[in-house]
Structure 1
């Protein structure tokens, strides 16, 4: 065998060995991948009988007559209007498709408020094609949850409610629902994020998942791999109206307290402190002496409310509520609302740089309140801060719609790139405090401003559009 033949044989042997090794490695990889994927067949068989399709209808009046008045502005306008009003109006049915799941063998089903809101007729269909008429037991628009009931004359299979607080990002989850009217559709994914805020209301705290959720999934369950409900599917982010891998579910722990109240009384009562709060930004944290931007900063305290009775003051930062740390401002309204009315609670509060413990007795949230009122966070300052102010006289009070006894100074102009403008101060803001020093005149303003000359951050309390607000201004840009 010559050298070329030997080289060819060696190349063939080497290539064969490489292929064999690749196949072995690929076999191990696919085996590992298969072992990592959940086996759902038995779990789905167990869960599907408890998940229902909801079809809600509502009768509505269509616009009657012949549409817009073609004789508007002519002598015939009134004649046509009277004739048009006498024409019959058509009625049509508005239809909502959604999902739900049985939580009590006596026929209680949990779904979304927006699925059944205002409905004249609600039909519930099970995967085995049995169909029943349902009635609303109670509904809560603030959490978008509703409890409906059907009468079947038999015990129904129910789901188990899990603990959404113990779920983790990356955990496998399973959704069953009625997307686009397709009964008992099963999709799977993971928890993509927790604590998502999507601007739906004061109790924004959603589980985000990439399990396919589409219109019609609303009100359906999101299960963990042990078959426990950890969320109630309620919304999707989509540019097309269909699934884009971003769905949101209400944490089941929020639903538990709501469901119990809906079942017993048909409505929800919530705890209330009667305070306004805002986010603690990094700048505010520095000005307040906090190591981290945590807690909820009180912007105002309602006279006669539970917060005032407890001794809470504007400028306090609530760090803990009943032993639970407040890492984000929006956690506090949810905690307070979930607390029983007339219950004594404890709070860790930062006041003037010192941490103190206080107690309060929760009141009942008035019907027109959403929660502990939240205010957006911004920033602020003057001359060296880049703004000009003038006294808050009667003319300014009237222009700004303020009470006759309101004191402070009003911002008249701002340097475009000055510290105040960069911090978010606006024209017509009324400054009432600088670094806890009261401002009720030009003299007191200048005195307070001088006292902050060596401060890197100045904390300003102001009134904007009738609402109190704190802003931290960085003086060293």
Structure 2
């Protein structure tokens, strides 16, 4: 995905602001183009819905062909640490690939050089289920400073993978890759993306 994101407001970064939930940077996307693996064509996309509880959003694109359907499966409350997972994405540490096409336009003879995304599969396991909040018969409630996440043992991803799907061992999408480094990586449970696809009553 290629986009132009313009910061509208910035605030000093410190732990107090981060833990208080105040946005550090706010901005707007002036355009957004989507491209698929091994493809040089760009397709305009638009944001149609943004989650108000997690770092996920829904975009919409119009294509002349039908895409392969994937199954999204919410097993966040049942899956166990140690379960195998696969993250698909485009890590920034991977070598870039380009294609050059000679123009056949008589009025524009300049060649077109375009970066082509080549997907990478990174395998690993769920190291921990980070619960944003929970209760038990011993405590009324406990909170995580992060919220709901899968903590992964996958360290070969890095910047560029954000937004990529995380599959379980049956090929179902159970998470969306969010952030990571050479030491730790995290994925958002797919339930937050599923919530964006319907209308849920919050008050009866």
When normalised by structure 2's length, the TM-score is 0.65
Q: What 5-or-longer segments of structure 2 have no aligned partner?
A: 9-26, 95-117, 133-143
Structure with greater Cα Rg: 1
Among 198, 205, 209, the alignment partner of 2:152 is 209
Q: C-alpha separation between the residues in 2 aligned to 1:142 and 1:247?
A: 20
Pair 1:118–1:199, CA change in 2 (3 A): farther
SS of the equivalent of 1:259 reads coil
Is 1:258 matched with 2:196? yes
Is 1:223 matched with 2:167? yes
Q: C-alpha separation between the residues in 1 aligned to 2:7 and 2:168?
A: 40
Q: C-alpha separation between the residues in 2 aligned to 1:188 and 1:180?
A: 17
Runs of 4+ in 1 over 4 A off after TM superposition: none
SS of the equivalent of 1:160 reads coil
Q: C-alpha separation between the residues in 1 aligned to 2:188 and 2:65?
A: 29
Higher relative contact order, chain-length normalized (CA < 8 Å, sep 6+):
2
SS of the equivalent of 1:226 reads coil
Match of 1:234 in 2: 178
Which structure's residues are more often strand, by fraction? 2
SS of the equivalent of 2:28 reads coil
Taking the TM superposition and a 5 Å limit, the aligned residue runs for 1:6-405 are 54-59=1-6, 118-129=28-39, 130-164=41-75, 165-180=77-92, 182=94, 183-196=118-131, 199-200=145-146, 204-211=147-154, 212-236=156-180, 242-244=181-183, 246-261=184-199, 340-343=201-204
Q: What 5-or-longer segments of structure 1 have no aligned partner?
A: 1-53, 62-116, 237-241, 262-338, 344-477
After superposition, give the CA deviation of every residue in 1:371-414 in whole Å (9 maximum; x if it has no partner): xxxxxxxxxxxxxxxxxxxxxxxxxxxxxxxxxxxxxxxxxxxx
Please tell me whether the aligned partners of residues 93 and 158 of structure 2 are also in contact (alpha carbons under 8 angstroms). Answer: no
When normalised by structure 1's length, the TM-score is 0.29
Please tell me whether the aligned partners of residues 57 and 122 of structure 1 are also in contact (alpha carbons under 8 angstroms). Answer: yes
Quote how far apart the aligned CAs of 1:163 are.
2.5
CA RMSD of aligned residues (A): 2.3
Match of 2:14 in 1: none
After superposition, give the CA deviation of every residue in 1:322-378 in whole Å (9 maximum; x if it has no partner): xxxxxxxxxxxxxxxxx72332xxxxxxxxxxxxxxxxxxxxxxxxxxxxxxxxxxx
Which structure's residues are more often helix, by fraction? 1
Q: C-alpha separation between the residues in 1 aligned to 2:35 and 2:93?
A: 11
